[in-house]
Amino acid sequence: MLDDGESTSIVLEGTGIALCRVAGRLYAYLDRCPRCASGIGGAGVADGSLGCPGCGERFDVRLAGRGSEEGLHLDPLPLLGDADAVRIAVSSGAVR
């Protein structure tokens, strides 16, 4: 499991997913920067923002992945967690 401030990238049903933990909560997004198309999983998390290693853009994970520009945001994925497992909803149309 991830510690606070950590992120990672996984592949689930052929879809790249970026996971990160901020303030004890787990967040899941498509592993793709909307500005430069780089993968963002495993990038640094600081002050609740996930940074893109490709272009440097920062996305606030607590605000549905909102970036610094109007309309620029990560694609959030539904996530359910309990003591035993984490479940992430990935639709077959989510792959880009």
For residue 95, being part of any structural domain is answered with no
Higher pLDDT, 82 or 23: 23
Backbone angles phi, psi at 53, to 5 degrees: -70, -20
Stated pTM of the model: 0.86
Q: Look up residue 60 and give its two tokens.
A: 């606030």
Q: Is the pLDDT of residue 95 over 80?
A: no
- What domain range includes position 60? 7-84
> What is the tally of structural domains in the chain?
1
Q: What is the CATH number of the domain that holds 66?
A: 2.102.10.10
pLDDT value of position 69:
86
pLDDT value of position 28:
93
Whole-angstrom distance, CA of residue 69 vs CA of residue 85: 35
Q: What is the pLDDT of residues 29-85, one digit of tens each?
A: 999 999 999 999 888 788 999 999 999 999 999 999 999 888 899 999 998 877 677
For residue 90, being part of any structural domain is answered with no
For residue 92, being part of any structural domain is answered with no
For residue 91, being part of any structural domain is answered with no
Q: Is the pLDDT of residue 96 over 50?
A: no
